[in-house]
Amino acid sequence: MSKILIHTLGSSGDFNPFMALALELRRRGHTVSWAVSPKFAEKARAQGFEASVAGVDPDWESDMLRRMLAAHLTEPIRIMFKEVLIPAIVPATLAIEPLAREADLFISHTI
């Protein structure tokens, strides 16, 4: 069977659908591992998966979250991309690259 690496950035809304996929892939006999933030690495390990840290956990108690909640409809998206997602791309890529070389399939999502 295949060795599959799953990567996701973001919140539980990003992680949870991938967890459902990972559980089904494992049930079908594939070896699934994760490259995610520390919080989600813990969750993946709790389900019995191998997980490597690729990224950081956002500080949801930060000034950024307060600004996102106080802003008009499109401003939170700009803040999230500028301050969280775009800065996370290079460090995540550096962490993921050696892991992906060992995988038969790499699954991620667009941001």
pLDDT at 110 over 80: no
Q: How many CB atoms lie within 10 A of CB 41?
A: 20
Closest CA to 5 of 107, 98, 111: 107
Please state the rounded mean pLDDT for residues 81-97.
85
Q: How many CB atoms lie within 10 A of CB 83?
A: 16
Instruction: Tell me the whole-structure pTM to 2 decimals.
Output: 0.79
- Per-residue H/E/C for 57-111: CCCCCCHHHHHHHHCCCCHHHHHHHHHHHHHHHHHHHHHHHHHHHCCCEEECCCC
pLDDT tens track for 37-62: 999 999 999 999 999 999 888 776 77
Q: What pLDDT sits at residue 12?
A: 87
Q: What pLDDT sits at residue 87?
A: 83
